[in-house]
């Protein structure tokens, strides 16, 4: 019995260049437009916290590349996120260089996470490790990273976590912009997330994305067609690790903190939940899913009567999504749009 | 000499306890191919039920049995309501069983609270081997473990029910054409796996302090036990996998601290998974 996941034609349509893509572009403009407008109409906590959620959204997108497009579930995204976060914190703490140490930190986080994910991806995929075995290996990876940062406490701060400064942008030889205030931080994060979304969406629509989807749909056929399947899987995993590392590095400087729980299994699986709820086949859906679920969690946890029950509700919603709405919020929105479109045409 | 004996005794005990803890997972994974990410939660649930029951004056042994039956019933209900619709979608069963973990853990927190709980050990003391004292309760659990695993293997290889289950694993379609009710068999296997997890959870409860996440320590280790031993190799595979994981942990813990030993074991387990994905024990 093969362990391959079969997806319906409905799903294939969502990831091919159908009429929906125009819809997703439009939806992306709405989502990012809203995010850009929020600091103009409000200030305070929302402006402080939303960049964190956008970075969690970036982390969710990193999983969509693997899961939605490649059909590879990873329970290890938090490991790369934490590698990014700790690299950022450690470089900013120790580097005394003429260039901006935050830039070096981001570079170290991104490169470190990408390198580790490429190595692990190559190591496992080249031997044909797939499906559930891969999940167990990524699960172990999360635990290894979490335990490592916990036990080398003189370097990482152990259980207490690692303090990370808010970074400063160097925009030229003379122009410095501190991101200590929430407003510049907000737009900086947005200015990072939007181009990444556009680039990844374009990449997944291009040849690379089609090959990865092809591997998801029928790995043996792609092999027979002469594609180097392990290499493509490794690249997808590497790209996913790179984005997770970037999200982690920026998250650390935003939250002023890197913590072992950032690497943990529970956080890794939280990413899986966001993506399942947002829509496993949609970059934008997962991004929005992470923001919505994280905001809801935050809001509901602040209400005393509900806070105890919220994680339970989230678990039940997770079950309902898998059982009833396989394509998450994005799938629901898509089917609404599809109907409307159909109605107009008829 | 003392160290040798103590490491030897520890390794055997850890192997047997770990084999017991992993056995429910090995059954469900090996026989019906479901990656039961809720296995840890089933262990935890067994421990909490046992704690609750002993708190209410029920003696230890009936408490453990009742807990195992209760966890088996929870597993049966979960299978019937949700899992049975997803047998042909392994990734979805993986996510759903993880959701089972999340929901069960939260329910445990709400019902039993998040404080550490303790079940007093029903058997105190140790067996004196002159040079090393073997903890008595652990020894009993080890003996129960090996008897239950061997008993299950006996059923598996020597009875009509065992033949049916093996037929089902070998070829589901043909077995069903020969008149086997596959749906019922799957249900039974899933419930039996849950029962075993509950039993293990109840029995290991006196050895650890109980908290809502206690099962997670065993979840990933159990996976490695099953994978290293070889999926479907119930008797020899489970014991060998537990010996590899538990033995490595004991030996490595001699040279470094516990946490680093665990990191190293997971690392080695991933290496084994890569180079012998079919398991060390299987000759395939």
The pLDDT tens digits of the residues spanning B102-120 come to: 999 999 999 998 888 888 8
| pLDDT (average), residues B194-202 | 95
Quick: pLDDT tens for A213-237.
Answer: 999 999 899 999 999 999 999 999 9
| pLDDT (average), residues A87-100 | 81
pLDDT band at A339; cut points 50, 70, 90:
low
Is the confidence at residue A12, as pLDDT, over 70? no
pLDDT band at A298; cut points 50, 70, 90:
confident
CB B129, CB B3: distance < 8 Å: no
CB A81, CB A244: distance < 8 Å: yes
User: What is the predicted pLDDT for the residue at A45?
Assistant: 87
Chain B positions contacting chain A at CB under 8 Å are: 33, 35, 82, 85, 89-92, 94-96, 98-99, 102-103, 106-107, 109-110, 172, 216, 220, 223-224, 227, 257, 259-260, 262-263, 266-267, 269-270, 273-275, 277
Quick: pLDDT tens for B20-61.
Answer: 999 999 889 888 888 899 999 999 999 999 999 999 989 999
pLDDT band at A1; cut points 50, 70, 90:
very low
Is the confidence at residue A53, as pLDDT, over 60? yes
Residue A239 CA to residue B21 CA, distance in Å, equals 37
Query: Which of A34-48, B190-204, B260-274 tops mean pLDDT?
Result: B190-204
Q: Quick one: three-class SS letters along chain A?
A: CCCCCCCCHHHHHHHCCCHHHHHHHHHHHHHHHHHHHHHHHCCCHHHHHHHHHHHHHHHHHHHHHHHHHCCCCCCCHHHHHHHHHHHHHHHHHHCCCCCCHHHHHHHHHHHHHHHHHHHHHHHHHCCCCCHHHHHHHHHHHHHHHHHHHHHCHHHHCHHHCEECCCCEEECCCCCEEECCCHHHHHHHHHHHHHHHHHHHHHHHHCHHHHHHHHHHHCHHHHHHCCCCHHHHHHHHHHHHHHHHHHHHHHHHHHHCEECHHHHCHHHHHHHHHHHHHHCCCCHHHHHHHHHHHHHHHHHHHCCHHHHCCHHHHHHHHHHHHHHHCCCHHHHHHHHHHHHHHHHHHC
The b-or-e profile of B59-94 (16+ CB within 10 A means b, else e) is: ebeebbbbbbebbbebbbebbeebbeebbebbbbbb
pLDDT band at B284; cut points 50, 70, 90:
very low
Contact B273/A322, CB-based, under 8 Å? Answer: no
The answer as to whether B65 is a domain residue is: yes
| pLDDT (average), residues A318-345 | 73
For chain A, how many structural domains are there in total?
A: 1
Stretch among A120-124, A156-160, B87-91 having the lowest mean pLDDT: A156-160
Is the confidence at residue B174, as pLDDT, over 90? no
Contact A319/B103, CB-based, under 8 Å? Answer: yes
The answer as to whether B266 is a domain residue is: no
Residue A159 CA to residue A142 CA, distance in Å, equals 16
pTM of the model: 0.87
Pairwise pLDDT comparison (A184 vs A113), residue with the higher score: A113
Which residue of chain B is at minimal alpha-carbon distance from A266?
B102
The answer as to whether B246 is a domain residue is: no
Sequence length of chain B is: 284
User: What is the predicted pLDDT for the residue at B278?
Assistant: 67
pLDDT band at B173; cut points 50, 70, 90:
confident
| pLDDT (average), residues B202-229 | 88
Longest dimension (CA), chain B: 60
Residue B23 CA to residue B33 CA, distance in Å, equals 14
User: What is the predicted pLDDT for the residue at A51?
Assistant: 92
pLDDT band at B259; cut points 50, 70, 90:
confident
| pLDDT (average), residues A269-278 | 91
The answer as to whether A265 is a domain residue is: yes
The answer as to whether A112 is a domain residue is: yes
pLDDT band at A4; cut points 50, 70, 90:
very low
The answer as to whether B93 is a domain residue is: yes
Quick: pLDDT tens for A143-157.
Answer: 899 888 888 878 887
A–B interface: beta-carbon pairs under 8 A: 100
Helix axes A207-217, A229-255, angle to 10 degrees: 110
Enter the ipTM. Answer: 0.85
User: What is the predicted pLDDT for the residue at A3?
Assistant: 40
Quick: pLDDT tens for A312-326.
Answer: 888 898 899 888 888
pLDDT band at A199; cut points 50, 70, 90:
very high
The answer as to whether A251 is a domain residue is: yes
CB A223, CB A229: distance < 8 Å: yes
> In degrees rounded to 5, what are phi and psi of residue A272?
-60, -40
User: What is the predicted pLDDT for the residue at A19?
Assistant: 44
User: Residue holding tokens 């400087």?
Assistant: A253
**In the beta sheet, which residues pair with residue B51?**
none
Residue A90 CA to residue A93 CA, distance in Å, equals 5
Pairwise pLDDT comparison (A168 vs A291), residue with the higher score: A291
CB A105, CB A172: distance < 8 Å: no
Contact A132/B277, CB-based, under 8 Å? Answer: no
DSSP tag of B214: T
The answer as to whether B254 is a domain residue is: no
The answer as to whether A302 is a domain residue is: yes
The answer as to whether B33 is a domain residue is: yes
The answer as to whether B158 is a domain residue is: yes
pLDDT band at B281; cut points 50, 70, 90:
low
pLDDT band at A345; cut points 50, 70, 90:
very low
**In the beta sheet, which residues pair with residue A176?**
A170
Quick: pLDDT tens for B63-97.
Answer: 999 999 999 999 999 999 999 898 888 888 888 99
Nearest to A132 among B90, B257, B262 (CB): B90
The answer as to whether A216 is a domain residue is: yes
User: What is the predicted pLDDT for the residue at A341?
Assistant: 47
| pLDDT (average), residues B128-156 | 86
For chain B, how many structural domains are there in total?
A: 1
Q: Which residue range(s) make up the domain with A320?
A: 9-345
User: How far B7 CA lies from chain A's nearest CA (Å)?
Assistant: 24
User: What is the predicted pLDDT for the residue at A241?
Assistant: 96
Q: Which residue range(s) make up the domain with B40?
A: 2-225
CB A76, CB A268: distance < 8 Å: yes
CB B214, CB B44: distance < 8 Å: yes
Residues of A (117-146) whose Cβ lies below 8 Å from B: 123-124, 127-129, 131-133, 135-137, 139-141, 143-144
Residue B26 CA to residue B222 CA, distance in Å, equals 8
Residue A19 CA to residue A27 CA, distance in Å, equals 13
**CATH, residue A45:** 1.10.3470
| pLDDT (average), residues A19-46 | 81
CA atoms within 13 Å, Cβ hemisphere of A278: 31
| pLDDT (average), residues A11-21 | 44
The answer as to whether A1 is a domain residue is: no
The answer as to whether B238 is a domain residue is: no
Neighbours of B134 (CB within 10 A): 17
User: What is the predicted pLDDT for the residue at B282?
Assistant: 58
The answer as to whether A64 is a domain residue is: yes
């Amino acid at each position: 019995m093969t362990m391959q996941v079969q997806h319906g034609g409905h799903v294939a349509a969502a990831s091919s260049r159908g009429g929906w893509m125009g819809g997703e572009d439009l939806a992306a403009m709405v989502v990012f437009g809203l995010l850009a407008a929020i600091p103009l109409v409000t200030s305070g906590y929302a402006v402080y916290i939303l960049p964190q959620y956008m970075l969690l959204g970036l982390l969710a997108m990193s999983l969509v590349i693997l899961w939605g497009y490649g059909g590879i579930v990873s329970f290890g995204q938090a490991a790369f996120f934490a590698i990014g976060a700790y690299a950022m914190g450690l470089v900013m703490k120790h580097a005394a260089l003429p260039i901006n140490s935050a830039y070096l930190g981001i570079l170290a986080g991104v490169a470190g996470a990408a390198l580790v994910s490429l190595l692990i991806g190559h190591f496992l995929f080249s031997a044909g490790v797939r499906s559930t075995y891969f999940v167990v290996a990524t699960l172990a990876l999360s635990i290894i990273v979490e335990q490592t940062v916990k036990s080398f406490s003189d370097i990482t701060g152990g259980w207490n976590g690692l303090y990370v400064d808010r970074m400063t942008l160097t925009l030229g030889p003379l122009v410095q912009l501190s991101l200590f205030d929430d407003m510049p931080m907000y737009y900086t994060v947005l200015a990072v997330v939007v181009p990444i979304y556009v680039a990844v969406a374009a990449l997944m629509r291009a040849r690379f994305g089609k090959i990865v989807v092809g591997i998801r749909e029928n790995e043996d056929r792609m092999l027979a067609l002469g594609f180097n399947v392990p290499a493509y899987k490794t690249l997808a995993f590497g790209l996913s690790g790179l984005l997770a590392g970037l999200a982690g590095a920026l998250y650390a400087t935003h939250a002023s903190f890197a913590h072992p729980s950032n690497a943990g299994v529970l956080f890794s699986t939280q990413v899986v939940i966001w993506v399942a709820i947002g829509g496993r086949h949609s970059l934008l859906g997962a991004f929005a899913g992470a923001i919505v679920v994280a905001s809801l969690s935050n809001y509901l946890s602040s209400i005393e009567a509900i806070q105890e029950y919220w994680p339970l509700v989230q678990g039940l919603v997770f079950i309902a999504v898998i059982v009833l709405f396989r394509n998450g919020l994005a799938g629901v929105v898509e089917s609404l749009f599809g109907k409307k479109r159909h109605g107009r045409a008829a | 000499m003392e160290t040798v004996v103590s490491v030897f005794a520890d390794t055997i005990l850890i192997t047997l306890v770990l084999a017991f803890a992993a056995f429910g997972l090995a059954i469900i994974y090996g026989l019906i191919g479901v990656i039961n990410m809720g296995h840890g939660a089933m262990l935890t649930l067994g421990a909490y039920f046992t704690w609750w029951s002993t708190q209410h004056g029920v003696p230890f042994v009936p408490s453990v049995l009742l807990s195992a039956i209760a966890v088996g019933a929870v597993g049966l209900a979960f299978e019937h309501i949700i899992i049975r619709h997803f047998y042909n979608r392994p990734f979805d069963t993986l996510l759903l069983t993880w959701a089972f973990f999340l929901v069960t853990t939260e329910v445990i927190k709400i019902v039993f609270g998040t404080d550490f709980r303790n079940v007093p050990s029903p058997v105190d003391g140790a067996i004196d081997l002159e040079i090393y004292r073997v903890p008595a309760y652990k020894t009993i659990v080890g003996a129960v473990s090996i008897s239950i695993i061997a008993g299950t293997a006996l059923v598996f290889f020597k009875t009509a029910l065992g033949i049916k289950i093996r037929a089902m694993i070998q070829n589901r379609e043909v077995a069903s054409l020969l008149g086997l009710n596959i749906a019922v068999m799957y249900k039974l296997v899933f419930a039996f796996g849950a029962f075993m997890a509950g039993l293990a959870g109840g029995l290991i409860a006196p050895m650890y302090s109980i908290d809502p996440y206690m099962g997670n320590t065993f979840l990933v280790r159990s996976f490695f036990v099953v994978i290293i031993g070889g999926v479907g190799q119930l008797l020899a595979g489970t014991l060998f996998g537990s010996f590899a994981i538990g033995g490595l942990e004991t030996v490595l813990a001699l040279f470094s601290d516990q946490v680093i030993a665990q990191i190293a074991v997971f690392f080695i387990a991933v290496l084994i998974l890569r180079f012998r994905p079919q398991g060390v024990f299987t000759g395939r």
